[in-house]
Amino acid sequence: MNMKMKKFKKLSFSDKSITISGYVGVALFVLAIIIPLIYIVIASFMDPITLNNQGITFDFSKWSMEGYTRVFQDDMILRGFFNSVFYSTAYAVISVGITLLAAYPLSRPDFVGKKIITTLYIITMFFGGGLMPTYLLVDNLKLINTVWAILLPGAINVWNIILARTYFQSLPKELREASAIDGASDITHFFKIMIPVCKPIIAVLLLYQFVAQWNSYFDAMIYLDDAKLQPLQLVIRSILIQNTPRPGMIADVQSAAAMAKMAQLLKYSTIVVSSLPLLVMYPFFQKYFDKGIMAGSVKG
Amino acid sequence: MTKNILPNANESETILPKINKKKSKMHSNLKYIKKNYQLYLFFTLPPLLLLIIFKYIPMGGVLIAFEDYSAILGTLHSHWVGLKHFERFLASPDFMNLLMNTLKVSLYGLLWGFPLPIILALLLSRIKSEGIKKKIQLILYAPNFISVIVISGMIIIFLSPIGPVNQFLGTATNFMAMPSSFRTIYVASSVWQATGWASIIYTAALSGASQELTEAAVIDGANIFQQILNVDLPAIKPIMVIQFILSAGNIMSVGFEKALALQTDLNLPTSEILPTYVYKMGLLNGDYSFSTAVGLFNSVINIVLLIVVNSIVKKLNEGEGI
């Protein structure tokens, strides 16, 4: 601390003011992120009438768990939650598996056909069929109202393939040479050497794809009519965006005014319940973030 | 030794006369493919099949933009109408408004969304304590893990006439119903959500490159501005260029899930953008061909923008683009 203070004192006046305003800038940004989140969490514990009339209060007699008990009473939320866990996990595994398969040959300098195949991938980054042709294809393949409509069309992610390929390329060539001397085929090499060595990038890709699937709603909205198949985001969409709580949550509320207030309260607890899993999970991956992103930024 | 195990496709070229070059190359390629069949059958085939089915077949499907698509006749046999749908779109009174809405919301997004992560990363790199920096970053990344629906839900709550923003201001304005506030809401919430996450790439580049150089610059008496100008910015310049070109090329593909979630009947004059229009025309109105034509128009503008921006940047940046 003393050393730091000395260093700081040595700075010129303009450097000092820049440094201080920089710290203030970061602090403001951090506050701008935290305050809305904390507000939501606290509001989710409030009694709806108090919340409407006087806003947040720290008078704990006005706090209640009502929002949460009502959210968990609704089986659609729970089913949506488990559907989302399934979609996100399956999608992450399929998509990352496909990514690694595609990336491995492309990382080999001797791979014949590399140019053509890479070009085929890259084109799709900049041009696509768009909404209706994709929808018609999924319809023609009879995938509407099946889990495959969610899992397959987006499974190819070219950006991730480039990321993984670049990571593979950064590994020493001797790895393959050594395993080849031991008589390992490409498949053996891939499973026994590459996958263990590439854990950091695989972890990041799995997280990206899991998060992407967990947070998306549009594909489910257009491909899944069946209420049983709906993911969490689609269920909470009706509560948060369309302002219509699930009937089971508010069945006992009598007056229209009380219902409106309850609808408001349910929004807060719904947000907390649906966002908590990812917000608890991502810090465990933090050490991989830089690595994963840097691998992709190397031009190739 | 290695060459036998991993044969080089061009190895034989030097030995054989030039006339046979093409033939022999094909021959050695075939030999390579035979020898390394696993690379093709096990590794390349499954992703390539998915790519062809789910990316290239829909690409062929844009044909319906030039037809009056009928589900019974199918894409290949529907009645061909040429540019009818494009003409109808360009002549429609909505056209200019949709185009400008799309351009404006993404231009404003770029104007804020491109520089802010860079500034944030530069500020973060000045924090010397690794522990504090890690904790700050953890907070900055959090919004990236919140879903579009939840962000939109939060916006609707905060800005509702009885919500905290109005309670704080002592007013009862319905922001979500005001066309004039849609773009601000859209861009500000994107900044809130994405700035921290987008700064990672710059932070990583800065931490790798500039520690020693900065120390040297300090010894030479450089002030903070000079350090940033001469050490930090050159270190992240290549990434800045790529990020700029990519985001400029994406200018027409606005994050449309959020725009759709934030639309209300009353803010449509500014919140209706090309991708949401494509969705409504196609899936809600069932006008498949027209919707596809609008989507195609959108992606053509996208590609043109990408090419133009890339060539401009190349000129300014001594031949370095993507």
- Residue-wise pLDDT for A60-69, tens only, equals 777 888 888 8
Phi, psi of B79 (to 5 degrees): -70, 125
Q: How far apart are CA A83 and CA A230, in angstroms?
A: 7
Which residues have C-beta within 8 Å of that of residue A139, sequence separation ≥ 6?
none
Domain boundary among the residues B82, B114, B129 is at B82
Least confident window among A82-91, A142-151, B171-180, B243-252: B243-252
Flag whether B321 is in a domain: no
pLDDT band at A300 (very low <50, low <70, confident <90, very high): very low
Answer yes or no: is pLDDT of A294 > 70: no
Q: Do residues B29 and B140 both lie within one domain?
A: no
DSSP of B105-144: HHHHHHHHHTHHHHHHHHHHHT---HHHHHHHHHHHHGGG
Select the residue of A185, A222, A294 nearest B38 (Cβ to Cβ).
A185
Helix axis angle for B148-159 and B182-209, nearest 10°, is 130
What's the mean pLDDT when you consider all of chain B?
86
Domain boundary among the residues B41, B63, B82 is at B82
Least confident window among A182-186, A239-243, B317-321: B317-321
Q: How many CB pairs (< 8 A) connect A and B? A: 274
Contact B127 A15 (CB under 8 A): no
Q: Do residues B151 and B52 both lie within one domain?
A: no
Q: Which helix (H) or strand (E) holds B80?
A: strand B79-80
Q: Do residues B61 and B170 both lie within one domain?
A: no
Residue B142 CB burial class (10 angstroms; 0-12, 13-18, ≥19):
buried
pLDDT band at B1 (very low <50, low <70, confident <90, very high): very low
Flag whether B150 is in a domain: yes
Q: Do residues B36 and B163 both lie within one domain?
A: no
Which pair of structure tokens corresponds to residue B249? 């090329």
* Chain B CB contacts of A30 below 8 Å: 136, 139-140
Q: How far apart are CA B22 and CA B20, in angstroms?
A: 6
pLDDT band at A120 (very low <50, low <70, confident <90, very high): very high
DSSP of chain A: -HHHHHHHHHS-HHHHHHHHHHHHHHHHHHHHHHHHHHHHHHHHTB-HHHHHHH-----GGGB-SHHHHHHHH-HHHHHHHHHHHHHHHHHHHHHHHHHHHHHHHHT-TT-TTHHHHHHHHHHHHH----HHHHHHHHHHTT-TTSTHHHHSTT---HHHHHHHHHHHHTS-THHHHHHHHTT--HHHHIIIIIHHHTHHHHHHHHHHHHHHHHH--HHHHHH---GGG--HHHHHHHHHTS----GGGSTT--SHHHHHHHHHHHHHHHHHHHHHHHHHHGGGGHHHHHHHHHHHHS--
Q: How far apart are CA B58 and CA A137, in angstroms?
A: 7
* Chain B CB contacts of A1 below 8 Å: none
Fill in the amino acid letter for A42.
I
Contact B153 A283 (CB under 8 A): no
- Percent of chain B's residues with pLDDT above 70: 89
What dihedral do alpha carbons A9, A14, A19, A20 form, nearest 10°? Answer: 90
Flag whether B64 is in a domain: yes
Q: Do residues B116 and B75 both lie within one domain?
A: no
**Are B196 and A33 within 8 A, CB to CB?**
yes
Domain boundary among the residues B25, B59, B82 is at B82
Q: Do residues B66 and B94 both lie within one domain?
A: no
Q: Do residues B58 and B181 both lie within one domain?
A: no
Flag whether B186 is in a domain: yes
Residues 156-195 of B with CB under 8 A from A: 156-158, 162, 164, 167, 192, 195
B35-44: pLDDT as tens digits: 889 999 999 9
pLDDT band at A292 (very low <50, low <70, confident <90, very high): low
The DSSP code for B67 is: E
Number of domains within chain B: 2
**Are B166 and B172 within 8 A, CB to CB?**
yes
DSSP of B238-296: HHHHHHHHHHHHTTTS--HHHHHHH--TTTHHHH--HHHHHHIIIIIT--HHHHHHHHH
Q: Do residues B155 and B249 both lie within one domain?
A: yes
Flag whether B152 is in a domain: yes
What residues make up the domain containing B28? 2-82
A67-80: pLDDT as tens digits: 888 888 888 888 99
Contact A129 B60 (CB under 8 A): yes
Q: Do residues B57 and B92 both lie within one domain?
A: no
Q: Do residues B71 and B141 both lie within one domain?
A: no
**Structure confidence at residue B4 (pLDDT):** 45
pTM above 0.90, yes or no: no
Flag whether B113 is in a domain: yes
Q: Do residues B17 and B107 both lie within one domain?
A: no
Which pair of structure tokens corresponds to residue B19? 């006339």
Answer yes or no: is pLDDT of B255 > 80: no
B283: domain CATH number is 1.10.3720.10
Flag whether B250 is in a domain: yes
Answer yes or no: is pLDDT of A30 > 50: yes
* Chain B CB contacts of A190 below 8 Å: 43
Work out the end-to-end distance of chain B between its first and last CA atoms, rounded to an integer number of angstroms: 37
Nearest alpha carbon to residue A122 among B302, B304, B55: B55
B161-190: pLDDT as tens digits: 888 898 889 888 999 999 999 999 999 999
Helix axis angle for A232-240 and B148-159, nearest 10°, is 10
Domains of chain A (ranges, CATH numbers):
13-67 (no CATH), 71-297 (1.10.3720.10)
* Mean pLDDT score, B245-258: 75
Question: Which pairs with CB-CB distance under 8 Å and at least 24 residues apart come from A48-55?
Answer: A48/A261, A48/A262, A48/A264, A48/A265, A49/A261, A51/A261, A51/A264, A51/A265, A52/A261, A52/A264, A52/B162, A55/B164, A55/B167
B275-319: pLDDT as tens digits: 999 999 999 999 999 999 999 999 898 888 888 888 888 888 776
Whether ipTM tops 0.90, in short, is no
Q: How far apart are CA A218 and CA A222, in angstroms?
A: 6
CA distance B61 to chain A (A): 5
Flag whether B322 is in a domain: no
By the CB < 8 Å criterion, does B233 face chain A? no
Q: Do residues B294 and B242 both lie within one domain?
A: yes
Tokens 């709550």, residue located: B157
Q: Which residue has the higher pLDDT, B2 or B262?
A: B262
Phi, psi of A24 (to 5 degrees): -60, -40
By the CB < 8 Å criterion, does B6 face chain A? yes
